[in-house]
A = this chain, B = another copy of it.
Amino acid sequence: MHVLIIGAAGMIGRKLAERIAATGALGGKPVNAMTLADIAEPQVAPDFSGTRTALAADLTDPGTADSLIADRPDVIVHVAAIVSGEAEADFDKGYSINLDGTRALFDAIRAIDGYTPRVIYASSLAVFGAPFPPKIPDDYHLTPLTSYGTQKAIGELLLNDYSRRGFLDGVGIRFPTICIRPGKPNKAASSFYSGILREPLNGQEAVLPVGTDVRHWFASPRSAVGYIDHAATLDTTQLGAQRNMTMPGVSATVGDQIEALRAVAGNEAVALIRHEPDPMVSAIISGWPRDFVTARACDLGFRAEENFRQIIEVYLEDEMG
């Protein structure tokens, strides 16, 4: 099987490539070729036994999508995107990469007769917008309140239509907020969700800008890669016309996160969290979903952690050895 990862330099793309390199498989099938593409040439894991290509590619450049699929990859993982904050700050850039880039990829696939690859499309909880019910059901309407969420919702609609017409075989994955992200804090409003755990686990202070009763939807980086692994060989006849799904996750409050940290790393770790309320972060976070019913994805075999302690343990195993 030949796997193409577009957005391979991002956290999920990189971890997916590492997993394929380590296991030699995706969705239980052997992978003999891997193409890794991103705006800048992605680094490649050193221990893959198959053919591996890494290249710099911008889907919005004419011809780029065609050349990426020239070798007819069997599975295309499309995790390239301008993130929420940047898509809001730069309207043209967000629509160009997130909408036009996605459509260029889908149209390049459509242009090849008899080629119907599995396309795994990274969507987002940002397709939903407040007001929310306490638990958001699988058939909740898409009312994005950001340009990023709008672009992701449009991509979902295109994935459905191109799949229905038989041009590609799509699975759309709405990722939970991924936690604990390895590495440094960033400027995303969600950064503290990882920071208040990652920094104390590494003996460093962390700032908590919101109250402990704030609730949100999480899964580990390992689960994120697991969704893609499962989607790669899923029997899509089970999906009908609706190819996009909210992925299972853990609904947890900041208080739940802190108690899980205490259970794993003790009071000293928790003492490193400094509460510094930030009204702007609180305002952004208040528009985010808190909990989901994900019966559809669960019935189809998608899995995540069952509680926040497991999410922390994944970090300890995968990032701290």
Residues on A lying within 8 angstroms of B by beta carbon are: 91, 110, 129, 139-145, 147, 150, 153-154, 157-158, 160-161, 164-165, 241-242
One of B144, B157, B242 near A153 (C-beta < 8 A): B157
From residue A11, how far is it (CB to closest CB) to chain B in Å?
27
CA distance A161 to B153 in the complex (A): 11
Residues of B within 8 A of A161 (CB): 144, 147, 150
Q: Are A241 and B157 in contact (CB under 8 A)?
A: no
From residue A195, how far is it (CB to closest CB) to chain B in Å?
29
Q: Are A150 and B145 in contact (CB under 8 A)?
A: no
CA distance A3 to B157 in the complex (A): 32
Closest residue to A91 on the B side, CB-wise? Answer: B165
Q: Are A141 and B140 in contact (CB under 8 A)?
A: yes
Q: Are B164 and A160 in contact (CB under 8 A)?
A: no
Closest residue to A138 on the B side, CB-wise? Answer: B141
Residues of B within 8 A of A154 (CB): 154, 157-158
Q: Are A242 and B164 in contact (CB under 8 A)?
A: no
28 inter-chain pairs at a CB distance below 8 angstroms, sorted by A residue, are A91-B110, A91-B165, A129-B241, A139-B141, A140-B141, A141-B141, A141-B142, A142-B142, A142-B157, A143-B160, A143-B241, A143-B242, A144-B157, A144-B160, A144-B161, A145-B164, A145-B241, A147-B161, A147-B165, A150-B157, A150-B158, A150-B160, A150-B161, A153-B157, A154-B154, A154-B157, A154-B158, A157-B157
Give 13 new A-B contacts, CB below 8 A, not counting A143-B160, A150-B158: A129-B241, A140-B141, A141-B141, A141-B142, A142-B142, A143-B241, A143-B242, A144-B157, A145-B164, A145-B241, A150-B157, A150-B160, A154-B154
CA distance A110 to B91 in the complex (A): 11
Residues of B within 8 A of A141 (CB): 139-142
Residues of B within 8 A of A142 (CB): 141-142, 157
Residues of B within 8 A of A129 (CB): 241
Closest residue to A158 on the B side, CB-wise? Answer: B150
Residues of B within 8 A of A143 (CB): 160, 241-242
